[in-house]
Amino acid sequence: MAYTEIKEKNGRRYFYRVKSIRKGEKVGKKRVYLGVDLDKDELSEKEKVADKELSLLSTLITSNEEKQLKKIKEEYTKQPKATEENRYESFVSLFIYDSTSIEGNTLTLQETSQLLFEQITPRKSLREINEITNHKEGFDYLLNYKGDLSREIILKLHKLVIKNTLKKELENQIGKYRTLQVYIRGTEWMPPKPLDVPKEMAYLLSWYTKNKNKLHPLILATYFHSAFETIHPFVDGNGRVGRLLMNFILRKNKYPMINIPNKKKYKYYKGLEESQVKGNLRPLIEFLFDLLKDEKIRF
């Protein structure tokens, strides 16, 4: 994500636009010089130009894809109100089943649906059962939330999703940015140090605020999701919370939510890794676009 860096020398302030680029286990930075002693308006204009140079995010969707997305949005917004509850139950069951399965939960789709909507509890561990019911609570919370993304909302969502699922020694990490270093299996890089997490999340939220009315919602949601998972702000639950936030952005912009099937998780991981390691967001956008295009349940 891009942010502005200020260096002071001989009483003057030099401004740079900076973007972190991960290469294997190392993180490098690409800088664009903005100017010296800039006022607020000058800085804002320079940042816009630099961001285009640094990311070219606005070109990540083809004109044909944009037309298809527009059609999807139009069809989605015209769905009858009478089917909303049925679509909600079908999508929630599938989304929560897949999102928790990706993280290792063993409840079947039928067990998930029965637990959520019939109060039939399967013979599985309490932790796995809590993961399912918590996920629905977090889903419903965002569904009824009328505001926009903020630090407070993200921490609240984490608390809802993770409560009663962690080991006792980690319970003090619930609803807070992590104070411990975490490690990701199967990747060559490490998430930021705990002390850097609040700053990185502040940068991400600032980026979101500046770009939410400039970028296509699919690009906005995809970039936010990739950056969120790169920061890995929590000791656990980053994937579940991240997928909820991605869908919150889509729905807020009147697009249907996306369900990532557990059976396609390796393609999903590959797309995430491509964006995190090489800074190439296109494969992840293509993956999510295909899911959105083929989604049978529009919710």
Written as six digits, the tokens of 178 are 């992590």
CB within 8 A of 141, min separation 6: which ones? Answer: 156, 157, 160
- Helices 84-102, 238-252: crossing angle, 10 deg rounding: 150
Question: Can you tell me whether residue 237 is helix, strand or coil?
Answer: coil
CB within 8 A of 255, min separation 6: which ones? Answer: 69, 72, 73, 76, 217, 218, 292
Instruction: Identify which of 101, 183, 167 has the alpha carbon closest to the alpha carbon of residue 135.
Output: 101
Q: Which amino acid is at 298?
A: R
Question: Can you tell me whether residue 191 is helix, strand or coil?
Answer: coil
Q: What are the start-end ranges of the E strands in the chain? A: 2-9, 12-23, 26-36
- Is 232 an active-site residue? yes
Report the catalytic residues.
232
